[in-house]
A and B are shown apart, each in its own frame.
Chain A
Amino acid sequence: MSLLISGVRLADGTVTDVAVHEGLIVPVSDLPADAERVDGDGLLALPGLVDLHTHLREPGREDAETVASGTRAAARGGFTAVFAMPNLTPATDTGEAVAYLNELAARDAHCEVVPIGAVTKGRDGTELAELGMMAAQGVTVFSDDGACIHDSLIMRRALTYLKPFGGVVAQHAQDPRLAGPSACCHESEISGRLGLPGWPTVAESTIIARDVQLAEFTGGRYHACHISTAESVEVIRWAKKRGIDVTAEVTPHHLLLDTPHVEGYDTTFKVNPPLRTSEHIEALREALADGTIDVVGTDHAPHARQDKDHPFDVASPGMLGLEQALGVVIDVMVNTGRMDWATLVERMSAAPARIGRLPHQGRQIAVGEPANLVLVDPTRRATVDRAASASRSRNNPYHGIDLPDPVELTLWRGAVTYRR
């Protein structure tokens, strides 16, 4: 298809016409005469967003999400690529499992889907999975997400073994002794009052502190998933100052939602790591602005209703994120003046593509580049309605909140994947 977006502003402030033809951004003069015209006045054109941290639930829990529904939600949120976490049934821990996911994606996806491989077999933290055979199928990011690689030796081996493949270990940092399976509430006055098992901040930061030293020691690449605490930010800051090859991620919900949300035991707000208090939220925002945190990753975690309708400590942890991620980041970072649009593009598109080694994503909007882009109305707002989601699940923590609702049009490889 062919498209001309006229008079649209780019992240750097320049106003231009963007012409799309046969999957690429082309000179306006190359467009056929019958190209569709879109008035870009007042809109922003940004590179398509890239999510390093998505749970698609297929195969295994298609009642909660499928590749089709999850990537449709991604397209609505302005994403043109998502990395799919391996905590599926079966887990993505072999080359064959990766190949199967690639097939599913080729058939059903509304954006690029890149499987993440498990670091250990069955994600149980004891034996390395077939990392090389997964790398051969295109895997660049490895993670046991949902489970922490808590054994120091396994972490050392993974970092070392992946070096020839250029793979990165994406860690779910949670010391299983300091924050066990029942831990479900930020350890604080609130957990003490509600009687909920506490999830202390140090259970995250001590693992990251160990890991960054192992990354330095081995020369491997390390990525800290969904960091949620001021202490973790300090550790990452220290590691980067030393020149260690580490990156860090924050979720939209940890940038916006605080611990008091759990006071009514509403399991929609149960997430792992848990929602933290305002001083941690402030530290995360500051770190995202100054680049200590490299990327926003959604940790989009759909759950069927029956997995949430349990007591708080046993309900499944996780919340949706793909559709509201951009709105949250615009509200807490751009509208507050903490970040400009170019930095937002770096955190939500360029950096995640770079960490995940995705050559066709996260690139600037220029002639000759792949046409992965999102058209944004930065002033439009709406009250979030969980029923209106493209996801199969309804565990949307932003339900009823007024947020930016910016995405007008998403283009992936030159094709429209979402249009308001």
Chain B
Amino acid sequence: MRHLLSAADLTHDDITSLLNVAEEMHEVQRRPIKKIPALRGRTIVNIFFEDSTRTRSSFEIAGKWMSADTINVSAKGSSVSKGESLRDTMMTLDAMGVDCFVIRHNSSGAVAQAAGWVNAHVVNAGDGQHEHPTQALLDAYTMRQHFRDAKVADTFRGKRIAIVGDLLHSRVVRSNVLLQRTLGGLVTLVAPPTLMPTGVEHWGVATTHDFDSVLADADVVMMLRVQRERMSGGFFPTAREYAHEYGLTAQRLAHLKPSAAILHPGPMNRGVEISSEAADAASSRVLNQVSAGVAVRMSVLYHLLGGEGAA
């Protein structure tokens, strides 16, 4: 694997290998001494054009536990305003002999563009409203652990996964849909019509505006953050109305199967898309997602940098 840019680039075997190695990394995470030498001498640069404490720390810890040298470059504030083009920024850092870039950018496609300008490996840590493949992988990892804990088959084929919220602006949903297209999960997207992406009918997933209709059958309910500024954009009238129609309220929680998992990529807006009852429910896997994030990112870095094909 040279880069991880899109969940669509991963075969079923790739995903299985990534998730299996992540399990071993999870074991490392539970050790008293969280250090393995697999990436000793490798340099990983986390370059974040958009703030994200969670994702950045997760990648940083992942690199450090594998003994890579990890460096954070905060590039917030568009390089346009500084007069430097994205191409120059990337080529400059690449010239220092970096082995891998982990890139977060607020513009869709910017990470793929950057990959075309550098010799190093590139991991997409979220680009605009496009993709966030490591999030989809950690979601899949969390789901698989949940299926095992719930003593149901740990395959995705036929599992019903509802993804609810601001789908229009979400990179998480695009990567999850692409990953589940390969894994065989049955995805239903739930959102008000104003927050449905254009052309979603071509995505090969079910869609509905009626959250209640999917509750009884769902094996996984993934709630996406809805940003308050979407209200001023006229996407919905008020947070109260949004919570009433599309929030995972205590009432809706009661209609879920006991074995259904609740996921949220965070940060959560309690009281808007998710109630505290749901966020803190026994079936909530939100913190498992965070912990899986490090293991999955270790696995991704190992797959990119661990072997000869990677050098």
Which residues from A are CB-within-8-Å of B80?
A: 310, 314
Q: Closest approach, in angstroms, between the C-beta of B112 and any C-beta of chain A?
A: 6
Which residues from A are CB-within-8-Å of B199?
A: 188-193
Q: Closest approach, in angstroms, between the C-beta of A175 and any C-beta of chain B?
A: 14
Q: Would A311 and B130 be within 8 Å (CB), given that A188-B199, A192-B200, A193-B199 are in contact?
A: no
Stretch of A126-134, A144-152, A194-202, A356-364 on the interface side: A194-202
Interface size class of B (residues with CB under 8 A): 20 to 34
Bound Cα distance A265, B113 (Å): 7
A398 interface residue per 8 A CB criterion: no
Bound Cα distance A198, B130 (Å): 13
B57 interface residue per 8 A CB criterion: no
Bound Cα distance A410, B78 (Å): 44
Which residues from A are CB-within-8-Å of B127?
A: 195
A309 interface residue per 8 A CB criterion: yes
Which residues from A are CB-within-8-Å of B109?
A: 194-196, 265, 311-312
Bound Cα distance A193, B177 (Å): 11
Inter-chain contact A195/B110, CB cutoff 8 Å: no
Q: Would A192 and B128 be within 8 Å (CB), given that A309-B88, A314-B78 are in contact?
A: no
A306 interface residue per 8 A CB criterion: yes
CB-defined interface of B170-200 with A at 8 Å, one 1/0 digit per residue? 0100100000000000000000000001111
**B69-93, CB < 8 A from A:** 78-80, 85-88
Bound Cα distance A187, B168 (Å): 12
CB-defined interface of A345-365 with B at 8 Å, one 1/0 digit per residue? 000000000000000000000
CB-defined interface of B101-118 with A at 8 Å, one 1/0 digit per residue? 000010111101100000
A369 interface residue per 8 A CB criterion: no
B202 interface residue per 8 A CB criterion: yes
Which residues from A are CB-within-8-Å of B87?
A: 309
Given contacts A189-B199, A192-B198, 8 further A-B contacts (CB under 8 A): A191-B198, A192-B199, A194-B109, A195-B109, A310-B85, A311-B105, A313-B108, A314-B78
Inter-chain contact A195/B108, CB cutoff 8 Å: yes
Inter-chain contact B107/A193, CB cutoff 8 Å: no
Inter-chain contact A195/B79, CB cutoff 8 Å: no
Inter-chain contact A312/B110, CB cutoff 8 Å: yes
Inter-chain contact A311/B202, CB cutoff 8 Å: no
Which residues from B are CB-within-8-Å of A192?
A: 197-200
**A236-287, CB < 8 A from B:** 264-265
Which residues from A are CB-within-8-Å of B174?
A: 193, 195
CB closest residue in chain A, given B106 = A311
A residues engaging B (CB < 8 A)?
187-198, 264-265, 305-307, 309-314
Bound Cα distance A188, B88 (Å): 31
Most buried by A among B85, B88, B108, B202: B108
CB closest residue in chain B, given A177 = B234
Bound Cα distance A338, B78 (Å): 46
CB closest residue in chain A, given B90 = A309
Inter-chain contact A310/B200, CB cutoff 8 Å: no
The 7 A-B residue pairs with the shortest CB-CB distance, nearest first, are A189-B199, A311-B107, A265-B109, A195-B130, A195-B129, A195-B108, A309-B87
Bound Cα distance A307, B87 (Å): 11
Inter-chain contact B113/A195, CB cutoff 8 Å: no
B131 interface residue per 8 A CB criterion: yes
Which residues from B are CB-within-8-Å of A194?
A: 108-109, 130
Q: Closest approach, in angstroms, between the C-beta of A9 and any C-beta of chain B?
A: 47
Inter-chain contact B200/A309, CB cutoff 8 Å: no
Which residues from A are CB-within-8-Å of B130?
A: 194-196
Q: Closest approach, in angstroms, between the C-beta of B237 and any C-beta of chain A?
A: 18
**20 contacts across the A-B interface (CB closer than 8 A):** A189-B202, A194-B109, A194-B130, A195-B129, A195-B130, A196-B108, A196-B109, A264-B112, A265-B113, A309-B85, A309-B86, A310-B78, A310-B80, A310-B85, A310-B86, A311-B109, A311-B110, A311-B113, A312-B110, A314-B107
Q: Closest approach, in angstroms, between the C-beta of A314 and any C-beta of chain B?
A: 5
Inter-chain contact B107/A187, CB cutoff 8 Å: no
Which residues from A are CB-within-8-Å of B78?
A: 310, 314
Bound Cα distance A193, B113 (Å): 16
Bound Cα distance A61, B305 (Å): 44
Bound Cα distance A264, B110 (Å): 10
Q: Closest approach, in angstroms, between the C-beta of B195 and any C-beta of chain A?
A: 12
Q: Closest approach, in angstroms, between the C-beta of A139 and any C-beta of chain B?
A: 33
Which residues from B are CB-within-8-Å of A189?
A: 198-199, 202
Inter-chain contact B110/A187, CB cutoff 8 Å: no
Q: Closest approach, in angstroms, between the C-beta of B256 and any C-beta of chain A?
A: 29
CB closest residue in chain A, given B83 = A306
Q: Closest approach, in angstroms, between the C-beta of B28 and any C-beta of chain A?
A: 34
Q: Closest approach, in angstroms, between the C-beta of B148 and any C-beta of chain A?
A: 33
Bound Cα distance A312, B85 (Å): 12
Bound Cα distance A189, B196 (Å): 12
Which residues from B are CB-within-8-Å of A305?
A: 85
Bound Cα distance A403, B207 (Å): 44
Which residues from B are CB-within-8-Å of A198?
A: 198
Inter-chain contact A195/B86, CB cutoff 8 Å: no
Inter-chain contact A195/B171, CB cutoff 8 Å: yes
Bound Cα distance A38, B202 (Å): 57
Inter-chain contact A313/B202, CB cutoff 8 Å: no
Q: Closest approach, in angstroms, between the C-beta of B302 and any C-beta of chain A?
A: 28
CB closest residue in chain A, given B108 = A195
Bound Cα distance A194, B130 (Å): 6
CB closest residue in chain B, given A262 = B109
CB closest residue in chain B, given A189 = B199
Bound Cα distance A307, B78 (Å): 13
Bound Cα distance A311, B127 (Å): 10
Inter-chain contact B108/A312, CB cutoff 8 Å: yes
Most buried by A among B109, B110, B200: B109
Bound Cα distance A193, B109 (Å): 11
Most buried by B among A194, A265, A311: A311
